[in-house]
Structure 1
Amino acid sequence: MRGRCRRGHPLPGRRAQCRLRLLAPGPVWHQPQSQPKRPSHQCSTTAGTDDAAAMSQSLRQLPNLITLMRIALVVPFAWWMAQGQYDRALWTLLVAGVSDGVDGFLARRYHWQSQFGSIADPVADKCLLVTAFVMLGLSGQLPWWLVAVVVLRDAYIFGGALAYWFIVGHYQGQPTLLSKACTCALVILGLLALGDLIWPPVPELLLQGLTGLVLILCPINMVQYTLLGVRGLRRRRPAEVNRG
């Protein structure tokens, strides 16, 4: 039993060793630390942000959808006119006119303008106006020379816009004040001529006055867009020289 440490009777030489053994700490077991869980509200916040962005992107297309609807209304309008159901044709034309104001308001109010809308909106207006005047000419309500002036004006502006886009580029389909005035006169004349087929006769003097106004504004509007196209072409040439 020599050299053995007994509890309560330690040998003098071994006293320090026994004390060290008793006081020595045992092995320390470290429990693995679990990874902190990500708060669930962050995931829900991210999902909510994505849904809001998707909803905002969808709403941005609302003016374009209204414009496409206005283009689609050309078909039923022409059908009602061909069938002699002028009241339905008039209501279709009114709905198309209201939609033109609605999509423009939404695009400006909420900054939902787009390149597609800047091109599709005037195309829709021209399709509707040209169809209306052609059908009014076929019904004998408007003279064919007036219909020819309206069709020539819209075809000239549309062709000039395409040429500007191919040659100059960066086309923005923003109508001028003169173009808006001419379009407004055409719309009023078309509505009155169509209404004359449904209700009591519209005063002949009013129709003649609007016809004269259209004959003045259409050629001036064509000249204006010609000058704007030439100005854009001149701006493009110095830029090409500087790049060269």
Structure 2
Amino acid sequence: MILFACAAFTDVLDGFLARRWHAESVIGSILDPFADKCMKVTVFFVLALHALNLGIIPLWFAWLLLIKELCLSMAWIGAVVYQRLVAKRQSSHKRRFVVKARPHAWGKAAGISEALLVLIVLVELMFGFCMPSINNICIALVCVLNGIAMGFYGYRTITQGRV
């Protein structure tokens, strides 16, 4: 639990300091979200496999989050490719393009609900009790918020060519 809290805190601090001191970089804008996705998916798989007999986090839920993150990553790559193809048609000289994955409020809400679910499960494991109804409500909330966020990201990618 302490490791997860430290990782989350340092991620938030890193983003804050980069924006505050205008130290954002192209590589950072790619690697930071990638690291976040890897950490999140790994945490859910570890929790699902660790507590498999307890049924705290179902394994299908970890797979669903992995598929969601892969879809978002493919959409981002698709937006980059699309922008480069459009740029080649519009001008003969090479221009540098950076596609930033701009978070949406629904995506932020989904991320917060995922972190809350992890926190609840870690507390359950630490104190040796299980609240299946609370877990199921949180899992449903995460699924609904992620579904809404994916809809917004998909719409924005299709209509505006950006993620």
TM-score, length of structure 1 as denominator length: 0.55
Identity of aligned residues (%): 28
Q: With a CA cutoff of 8 Å and minimum separation of 6, indicate the structure with the bigger relative contact order.
A: 2
Please list the CA deviations of residues 62-87 of structure 1 after superposition, one character each: whole Å capped at 9, or x if unmatched.
xxxxxxxxxxxxxxxxxxxxxxxxxx
The partner residue of 1:138 within 33, 49, 57 is 49
Question: C-alpha displacement at 1:194, in angstroms?
Answer: 2.4
Please list the CA deviations of residues 128-148 of structure 1 after superposition, one character each: whole Å capped at 9, or x if unmatched.
010011111212131122222
1:151 aligned partner: 66
- Aligned residue identity for 1:162: I
Tell which deviates more after alignment, 216-225 or 96-105.
Answer: 216-225
* Structure-2 separation of matches of 1:177 and 1:134: 25
1:230 aligned partner: 158
* Structure-2 separation of matches of 1:200 and 1:138: 16
Matches within 5 A, 1:38-49: none
Tell which deviates more after alignment, 117-126 or 198-207.
Answer: 198-207
Q: Say if 2:149 is the partner of 1:221.
A: yes
- Aligned residue identity for 2:73: F
Matches within 5 A, 1:89-238: 90-139=1-50, 140=52, 141-169=56-84, 170-201=98-129, 203-233=131-161
* Structure-2 separation of matches of 1:204 and 1:143: 11
- Aligned residue identity for 2:35: A
Q: Is the 8 A contact 2:37 2:69 kept in 1?
A: yes
* Structure-2 separation of matches of 1:100 and 1:146: 24
Please list the CA deviations of residues 169-201 of structure 1 after superposition, one character each: whole Å capped at 9, or x if unmatched.
530122111111111111111122122111142
- Aligned residue identity for 1:110: W
Q: Is the 8 A contact 2:106 2:146 kept in 1?
A: no
Q: How many residues are treated as equivalent by the alignment?
A: 145
More helix by share: 2
**Rg: which structure is higher?**
1
Q: Is the 8 A contact 1:182 1:217 kept in 2?
A: yes
Q: Residue 125 of structure 2: SS of its match in structure 1?
A: coil
Please list the CA deviations of residues 126-168 of structure 1 after superposition, one character each: whole Å capped at 9, or x if unmatched.
1001001111121213112222221111111011111111222
* Structure-2 separation of matches of 1:117 and 1:232: 23
* Structure-1 separation of matches of 2:156 and 2:69: 16
> Unpaired segments of 5 or more residues in structure 2?
85-97
* Structure-2 separation of matches of 1:149 and 1:214: 11
